[in-house]
Each structure stands twice: as structure tokens, then as C-alpha cells.
Amino acid sequence: MPALIDPFGRRIDYLRLSVTDRCNLRCGYCRPAGPAPGGESGPPALSDDEVLAAVRAAVSAGISKVRITGGEPLLRPDLPRLVRRLASLPGLADLSLTTNGLLLAGMARALRAAGLGRVNVSLDTLVPERLREIAGAGHPGTVMTGIRAALAEGLSPVKVNVVVMAGINDSEVPDFVRLTREMPVHVRFIELMPVGEAGASAMGRRVPLDDIRRRCGPLEPLAPGGEPSGFGPAEYVRSPGCLGTIGFISALSRGFCGRCNRLRLTSQGRLVSCLAGEEGLDLAPLLGAGDKGGLAEAFRRAAEMKPLRHRMAEGACRPREAVMCSMGG
Ligand code: SAM
């Protein structure tokens, strides 16, 4: 298996794959007002065959882990069929998914049967009215039913992503810690990031990592090897006696670029080198031409284009058109 190493010596083996721009939520920090970049209906920009061709090329270049994301990936028509095809690709060692969980209860079994390994569920609040305030729709009970279904089907680990916002859901940090006592889930508290216009305008609500930690109550380190499996930027601890763990993901307070291992492919076929950078390549012409060699070369070039670190603190990612809802976080 070839290794994809960027100019700073980081091994790039992880692809975040956005399979749709559509979403059934409207989180204020993620999606700008107005229609979704790829339209709200109709076929996804990349077909299943094109997605497969891109991922096959990625694997031939050195990618071995893929996370399906969006938009809301469960809105993609017949996602289990795409999962099945991805899961059977030789050389792909890990296939995971990030979802808002609203449709998960009805799909967890089919996704598991298709070969999905594990799932991250985004849930910023356990309070129904608050979810409507944050995301415009949805009910936390529906998401919790999805989480239970994922656990019951053996998707493992199940991680819960919570973006913490001052004056909105920061008072719920202890409630999410309690969730790890009741269920074997791994709650990750995420600092708001100024990515895209929506992210930048939400930054007044950012809660620095140390404040989030303080709200968690007593925490202890994990036993060696006790981290939930994954390849992301979270640092894990646990609340004593709990079944699950607590993770922290912080782009600004701590920075996570030193361990960055990823590229991102938008649902429109743009290969992005950094969540908060301008660097990227358009794969659509290569996909249209069936250019396998060119596609693998594009993954190598995208790794070469990775910057040493993001420039979120300097506001470098504010005017960008690319937004979280296209890149999948
Ligand atoms: N719809 C799916 C979901 O809700 O998980 C996948 C896409 S969503 C863009 C992926 C993750 O990005 C979510 O956990 C979301 O909370 C996070 N996210 C989006 N915008 C963010 C921002 N400005 N700062 C921090 N996290 C953000």
C-alpha cells in the first residue's frame, strides 16, 4: 500500500467524503442562509460510480479510511447501496459515517448490513425547543432513538458530536457527560470554528476548550488503549465510573493541524486540502474522462498542497464560498 505523505511529514490516509449538500437541518453555525450550494433536490452532483472511482483512486494513492458525511448523508438516495460498494473496495480498511441522526433509526440496520463500521451522531442539545432554535427542526428524542438503534446494530463506537455555544447549550455540558454514564457512547465537545460565513458569524458564541472542560466535572485519563477507535483530532478522557468517554475537539484553543491526516471531497467533486484553506482541485473533469491515473495523481497533489496549519484565527476562512455543509465538517 503506497503512503501519502504531505510536505510536513504527516501521513494522509483519511478521506472525508461528502455525498450530498442537502440537509434536513439548518444549524446557524454551519449553513449560510439561502439555498444549498448544490441545490435542494435532484440527483447528487457525483453519481455512485463517480464516487467509487474517486475513492478507488484515493485508495490507490494511500487513503485507507473514509468517513461519509454531507450535508446530511442519510438524505442521499439509497445510501446503503453506495456503502455496500465502498465497503467492498480492496484496501479500504475503515468506513464510517457522520449524521445528524434524524433518519438513523430506520437506516442503522441496512447500513450495518451494507458494511458500515461505525457512526458519529451530531446532537447539540437534549432539549427539544433548543434543537429547534439551533437547527430549525428535529427532535432530540428522534436522534436518541437513532443512537440506540446504532448501538443495537453493533455500529461501534458510537460518538456524539456536540458543538458548544455560549448562552445556548453550554449549560448542558454536564447532561452530555451524564449520557456517557448511561450509555456506552463517546461524547465529543467541539469548539465552534469560523469556517464559512455561517461559522464566522457564530464565533461570538465560542466557548474555549478550558471552559468546556471545567463544566464537565471530575475527569480522569483513560487507561492506555482505552480510546474509542477513530482517526480524528479528539483528545479523550472519562468521567469516573462511566461506560463511555469524553472527547474534546478544538481547532482554536489547541489546534489540531499537527496530527491532521485528511483530505476532503465535496459532493460536487472538489478535493479540498484543508478545512479552512483555499487549496483544492476539481475532480469532475477527471471523473468525466474516466482518467484513473489522473485521479490518483490529484490525490497526491492535494496532499502536497496541504498547508502546515489552518489560518482560522486570522479569519482566513471567512470569505470562502466553501462551507461546512459542503465539506462535511
Ligand atoms: N449532517 C451531518 C451531521 O450533522 O453530522 C454531517 C455534516 S456536519 C457539517 C458535520 C459536523 O460538522 C457536525 O458535527 C457539525 O456540528 C460540525 N460543524 C459544522 N459547522 C461547524 C462549525 N462552524 N464549528 C464546529 N463544528 C461545525
CATH for the 14-327 domain, from 3.20.20.70, 3.90.550.10, 3.30.300.130, 3.40.50.10470: 3.20.20.70
What is the predicted pLDDT for the residue at 37?
A: 46
Rounded to whole angstroms, the Cα distance separating 250 from 264 reads 19
What is the predicted pLDDT for the residue at 1?
A: 75
Choice between 51 and 198, residue whose per-residue pLDDT is larger: 51
Top mutation candidate among 75, 98, 327 for ligand 1, by most atoms within 8 Å of CB: 98
pLDDT single digits (tens) 8-67: 999 999 999 999 999 999 999 998 766 554 445 555 689 999 999 999 999 999 999 999
pLDDT classification of 273: cutoffs 50, 70, 90: very high
Nearest CA owner, ligand 1 atom 11: 329
Q: What angle do CA 220, 236, 100 make, to 5 degrees?
A: 130
What is the predicted pLDDT for the residue at 323?
A: 65
Check whether 219 has a pLDDT greater than 70.
Answer: yes
Element of type H or E holding 119: strand 118-122
Of the chain, the percentage scoring pLDDT greater than 70 comes to: 93
Q: Which of 201, 127, 141, 138 is nearest to 169 (CA)?
A: 127
Check whether 321 has a pLDDT greater than 70.
Answer: no
pTM of model > 0.75: yes
Choice between 27 and 315, residue whose per-residue pLDDT is larger: 27
Asked if residue 17 has its Cβ within 6 Å of ligand 1, the reply is no
Residue 260's contacts (CB-CB under 8 Å, 6 or more residues apart) are 10, 233, 274, 306
Check whether 122 has a pLDDT greater than 50.
Answer: yes
pLDDT classification of 316: cutoffs 50, 70, 90: low
| CB of 85 closer than 8 Å to CB of 126 | no
Nearest CA owner, ligand 1 atom 25: 192
| CB of 280 closer than 8 Å to CB of 299 | no
Q: Where in the chain are the domains?
A: 14-327
Q: What letter represents residue 212's amino acid?
A: I
Q: Convert 120-134 to b/e letters by CB count within 10 Å (16 or more is b).
A: bbbbbbbeeebbeeb
Phi and psi at 87, nearest 5°, equal -60, -25
Asked if residue 72 has its Cβ within 6 Å of ligand 1, the reply is yes
How far is the CA of 305 from the CAs of 5, 43, 263, 264, in angstroms? 11, 30, 10, 13
Q: How far is the CA of 2 from the centre of ligand 1 (A)?
A: 31
Q: Convert 88-100 to b/e letters by CB count within 10 Å (16 or more is b).
A: eeeebeebbbbbb
| CB of 171 closer than 8 Å to CB of 198 | no
Q: How far is the CA of 260 from the centre of ligand 1 (A)?
A: 17
Lowest average pLDDT, out of 109-118, 158-167, 200-209, goes to 200-209
Asked if residue 70 has its Cβ within 6 Å of ligand 1, the reply is yes
Check whether 300 has a pLDDT greater than 80.
Answer: yes
Rounded to whole angstroms, the Cα distance separating 229 from 238 reads 15
